[in-house]
Amino acid sequence: MSPSGSERRDGYDRLHVEIRRWIHDEGWSELRDIQERTIHPALDDYGYVLNSASTAAGKTEAAFLPILTEVADTVETGLAVVYVAPLKALINDQYRRLLPLCERLDMPIVRWHGDAPQADKTRTLRNPRGVVLIAPESLEAMFVRRSGGLGRLFGNVRFVVVDELHAFLSGPLWLHLHSLLNRLDGAGGRTFRRVGLSTTIGDSQAAEWMAPGKPATIVRAIAAIRLLVARSVEPPGADPSIATVVLHQILSIICERGGEKTPRLYADICGKGPLASLGKAGFVAMLRAMADPEVKLVEQAPDGTIMLGEAGEAITTGRDFYAIFETDQEWKLVSERSTLGTIPVANSVGVGSLLAFAGRRWQIVDVDDRTKTLRVEMHRSGKLPIFEGLVAERMHDRLLAEVRRVYEDADVSAFLDAQAKTLLQRARNIYRAHRLDKVRILAAGGDTQVFLWRGTAMSSLCAIALTSQGHRCSAHDIGVTATNATPETVVAATHRITDDPQVTVAKLSRSVGNLRSAKFDRFVPNELLRHLWIVRHTNLEGRDTVACSRRFDGEFARVRRFGQASSSALASMSSKESRLCRLNSPLSETSS
């Protein structure tokens, strides 16, 4: 080993002697940059270390070289390192990579998931030591089934490593992981040191994003890369899975402890972190619904202890209880005559909303969020509008703002190949031809496009607001399509919305049909889900308090302000440019 520079030599020299010998035997000439830079923070007890690099950059060794150095000579009973990953295949792969190093240190290492060898798990339960590689649902099962031995297993944990951290950054997986880590800290009586491993853009993901296809695909990829280079991270927002995760954790903790009082349940689940946004009133409403005689998830003993009810016992003994995510996230589309298929839905929809499926436009006539079924009928307009389609992947305001900057910039990123550069130029030509830097409303055939350049939440909220005024609308990545509508009628609708104090987010929530989207939402009171939806959509600016229940006012005010300019811009276009505004124009290529 021949490190270059005193800092690199200092980091290497801090590693355990057997680890240094292992590095030499592996034939490494030096540590990679990410590995050198992780040694000091991990060994100096920074508390939280985030290790972010591309695929195959050596993140696993970067984390475990100093971690195993720290725990190599541990003599206390109990696991020293808990590694959490979302996939069994990843756990198996990391086990193969770490096994030779752990054997060099005489450090036990065990895989813990449904397909892992039972003999290794039994050996660990008898004599817990070393490293455990575990999936979140398996950790959940351990809390439920091994509650009596949690202190012996986790009492002396030194590090918790979370791999593929980017996969846990939102949704029920994030909420579930956050609760599990809090419970893990509780089992050990302290907050463990945490190390997160995350890719920026892996090879397979980059290949998918940069594949030849639509110009906007390139634009969106460039925007994402630019945000990554700028170290920009989307702020966490209120997640629609909060209610289902709280319900799940109530059942799990009752299983673990045999029963618990309400104040302790609330403190352990909602006392801190993202689940706290449910609030005490919401938590009490949840417990009451769970104890309903028709539901029977929980029941209350005479001394106030909350225990599992008949249905709760049946759910918690099932194999699918431990994972917080649904295996099927898609909605079924049903017409009068037959089942059309399934479609992912990320934005809010209701009766009257439009969607695109199988090359046709459909109007929603009924929403059954318990069975995730949308009953639809074919819309009288056979053509699909520009940008048509329900949003399958949620987008944040920050990403949309960067996408727009990519369209308006003149520079070409150095990492693009020739084909990507061609697609980028084509996307920019389309953007400029339609004057989208100034136009907020665009007539497209018989439809009107409203360009908001905001995230999924705002687009879906504005679509619902316009629907409440008699328009048939659908949200897309950068705004709203109002079908069979002129710019004048859309602008008039925005006037009615912003001028009427009765049009509030709370009132609009009554038009939302797909409130139940997470695994256990079928047990959550409908009014609690509606309240949480209102909170999410009155807090779109990322503020800590719900200061305004009419957040879309500002967006529609901009639409009104640009409406006249948009009409003038369209009127001044040459006949050749005007032809681009037809429904079958190349602008449809910018749908992402």
Q: How far is CA 381 from CA 441, 445, 498, in A?
A: 20, 11, 29
- DSSP string across 446-503: TEEEEE----HHHHHHHHHHHHTTT-EEEEETTEEEEET--HHHHHHHHHHHHH-TT-
Return the pLDDT at 108: 94
Return the pLDDT at 177: 86
- DSSP string across 509-566: GGG------STTGGGS-HHHHHHHHHHHHT-TT--SS---S-THHHHHHHHHHHHHHH
Name residue 510's amino acid: R
Specify the CATH number of the domain 6-200.
3.40.50.300
CATH 3.40.50.740 fits 242-321, yes or no: no
Regions in the chain scoring below 70 on pLDDT:
1-9, 46-47, 54-55, 169-171, 199-214, 235-238, 326-330, 337, 341-350, 356-361, 379-394, 445, 539-592
Helix or strand run (H / E) with residue 274: none
Cα separation, 384 vs 368, in Å, equals 25
Return the pLDDT at 348: 61
Cα separation, 477 vs 591, in Å, equals 8
Cα separation, 74 vs 59, in Å, equals 24
**What pLDDT, in 10s, does the model give residues 259-291?**
999 999 999 999 988 888 899 999 999 999 999
Whether the CB-CB separation of 143 and 252 falls below 8 Å is answered with yes
Return the pLDDT at 435: 83
Tell me which residue of 451, 477, 545, 468 sits closest to 509, measured CA to CA: 468
Residue ranges, comma separated, of all CATH 3.40.50.300 domains in the chain are 6-200
Cα separation, 421 vs 138, in Å, equals 46
For the whole prediction, is pTM greater than 0.85? no
Q: Nearest 5°: CA angle at 35, between 31 and 37?
A: 115
Helices and strands (H, E) in the chain, number of each type: 23, 17
